[in-house]
Amino acid sequence: MAFWAPRTSGTYAEFAVTPASSLFSLLDDLDFDVAAALPVQGLTAYGLAHYATRLSLGETALVHAAAGGVGALLVQLLRHRGVRVFGTASTTAKQNLVRELGAIPVPYGPGLAEQIRAATGGRGVDAVFDSVGRVTQAESLAVLAIYGHLVFFGEASGSPAPVHPDELYPRNLRISSFWLAVDQPERWDIARRELQGWVATHRLRVVVGRAFPLADAAEAHRLLEQRQTQGKLILLPAA
């Protein structure tokens, strides 16, 4: 298994060439379907929790799309660090999953900031992890506490709008981005080992939403685009 360098294509090809540093060697006792979530979504969640931010015991975070493939893993990794996590989800079923993973489910919408501020004594959260982009940008900034940090790692609803520094000064806010790339291979070797170990010992739960035969890949893409999925979608190649 492998993850490809940023913004390259070809993962539907029968054969592909990839750097050795991108290979993900699986433990023998891990089910392949479960492990399929780790090369991209697992490493992305790990990078967000360990490299893009340094949240610690007692701090707070909001994870958008918390029932998705990356979101469900990120919620758990942040909880392992002792972070209090809020997670947005669009349906009751997704909110129930977010709760099962140890986060506090919250709905999207204009009342999000007020709800989170009420739950944090008016303070807000220390970090927001936003893969949605333009639609959630205003709420993501609004819920941040002083010195809060907004990390964009996707743009499901479109690219975020430019932010003027004047919007950041009053609370000393920070905005950054994260994209999974092959840098410092040794750091990702550690991430691969730890992720697999946590899954094998049931410390980390991989949520597999649905599995599709490869011939139904287009349907899987449609569901992703319509945000009708939970956890990881698996494509099963023909035997």
- Compute the average pLDDT of residues 58-87: 97
Burial 200-218 (b: 16+ CB within 10 A, else e): eeeebbbbbbeebeeeeee
Question: Could you read off the pLDDT of 150-197 as tens digits, one per residue?
Answer: 999 999 999 999 999 999 999 999 999 999 876 777 888 899 999 999
- Compute the average pLDDT of residues 80-97: 96
**What distance in Å separates the CA atoms of residue 104 and residue 127, rounded to the nearest whole number?**
15
pLDDT of residue 122: 97
- Compute the average pLDDT of residues 77-90: 97
Question: Could you read off the pLDDT of 130-162 as tens digits, one per residue?
Answer: 999 999 999 999 999 999 999 999 999 999 999
Domains, in order of start, for the chain = 52-177 (3.40.50.720)
Confidence of residue 20 (pLDDT cuts 50, 70, 90): confident
Would you state the structure tokens that stand for residue 76, as one six-digit string?
């758990």
Could you write out the DSSP letters of every residue in 95-125? HHHHHHTT-EEE--STTHHHHHHHHTTT--E
Q: What SS3 class is residue 4? A: coil
